[in-house]
Amino acid sequence: MAGQSHDLAAREETPSVQTPTRSVVITGATGGLGTATVQRLAGAGWQVFAADIDSPALHSLASERIVPLPVDVTDGACVDALRNRVAAHTSALAGVVNFAGVLEVGPLVELDEAAFRRVLDVNVVGTFLVMKALFPLVRAGHGRLVLISSETGWQTAMPFNGPYAMSKHAVEAYGDALRRELMLLGIPVIKIQPGAFRTGMVAGAAGRFEKLAANSVDFGKQLAKATNWLPREERRAKDPAELASLIERALTERRWRAAYSINANPASSMLTRLPSRVVDRLLLLALRRD
C-alpha cells in the first residue's frame, strides 16, 4: 500500500507480554469492535478494564474478568480518574487499546462547527489524553499502546469524509511520533487500520448522508450519489471477531508490527496510489452535476 509499506513491513522484536495477570484497558468498550475485543481478551484470561461513556450497555459487560469503568475521553480530569480507578486494581498494565472514537461526515464548508470540534476532540484529543494518563501503568507492566486508526488514516481523503479523515490522519501522525519516542524506552506503540466491519457504522453513515443531502445548499446530488455507494461497504464488512483476534495478536506476538491493516477497501487503496490530479479527475467524473 502506497506510503504504508514502511509501516506494515516495519517490525521490532520485544519479549512477549508475560505479566502474572495480564491487564488491559479498552476504551470505546461498548462499540461493536470494542465489545468484541473486550470479550475476546476476557475469554483468553485477561483482566479487562472496559471504559466508555456511562450507560447500561457498559455495565452489562461486567463479569469476573471485566471491570466496567465510565469515562469521557475528552475530559482530562475524567481520564485521570479512570487511571486512578485502574491503579486501585493493578499497578501495571500489559496494554491499552483506544477504540473511543466517533464518525462525522459532510461538506467541510457546510459542516456545523460543534460537530467538527467533536470529532477532533474525541478521536484526536481523547487518544492523547488516554495514552498520556495510562502510560505510567503501561511502562510499569512493560506493556503496549494500541491505537485504533482506520484505513481512512492512510488513504487519500475523499469528498464529504473530510472530518473523519482529518482525525484519523492525525492519529496516524500521533502514532508514528509516539512510537519513535517510546521505542527509546522499550514500549511498543502499534496502529490498527481497520476497513469496514459489521458494527452499524455504515448504516449510521448512510442515514447521516441522506440527511445531509436533503439539507445541503450546494452538494445535494453529490451527497445522494455518495449515499448510494455505502451498501458496497456494508457487503464487504467483516465480522468484528476478526479484528478482536488481530488486537490480541498485536498485544502478544513477539515480533510486533508498527501498523496492521485489515480489510482495506481495494478501490480507495488503488486511488491512494494514483497521482492526485488523476484522482481528482476521476472523482469529478463520478460526482459531477447531472
Give the integer Cα–Cα distance in Å for 171 and 173.
5
- Per the structure, the count of domains in the chain is 1
In the chain, the N- to C-terminal Cα span, in Å, equals 34
Pull the grid cell for residue 13: 522484536
The rounded mean pLDDT for the chain is: 89
Mean pLDDT along residues 222-230: 81
Cα(72)–Cα(102) distance, rounded to whole angstroms?
13
d(CA 174, CA 165): 14
Position 7 scores a pLDDT of 43
Q: Is residue 216 part of a domain?
A: no
Span 231-243, mean pLDDT?
84
**15 assigned to some structural domain:** no
pLDDT band per the 50, 70, 90 thresholds, residue 100? very high
The answer to whether residue 232 sits within a structural domain is no
In a domain, 227, yes or no: no
116 located within any domain: yes
CATH number at 172 reads 3.40.50.720
| The pLDDT of residue 237 | 84
For range 164-168, the mean pLDDT: 96
Q: Is 60 exceeded by the pLDDT of residue 14?
A: no
Q: Where are the beta strands (DSSP E) in the chain?
A: 11-13, 23-27, 47-52, 66-70, 95-98, 144-148, 189-194, 255-257, 259-262
**pLDDT tens track for 190-208:** 999 998 888 776 667 777 8
Q: Which domain holds residue 106?
A: 20-200+239-281
Q: Supply the pTM of this predicted model.
A: 0.88
Asked whether residue 11 is domain-assigned, the answer is no
Task: Quote the strand ranges of 137-179, DSSP E.
Answer: 144-148
In a domain, 286, yes or no: no
- Selected catalytic residue, list 46, 160, 164, 256: 164
Residue 32 one-letter amino acid: G
- Domain annotation covers residue 222: no
16 confidence band (pLDDT: 50, 70, 90): very low
Cα–Cα nearest to 265, from 240, 241, 230: 230
Task: Verify whether residue 164 is a known catalytic residue.
Answer: yes
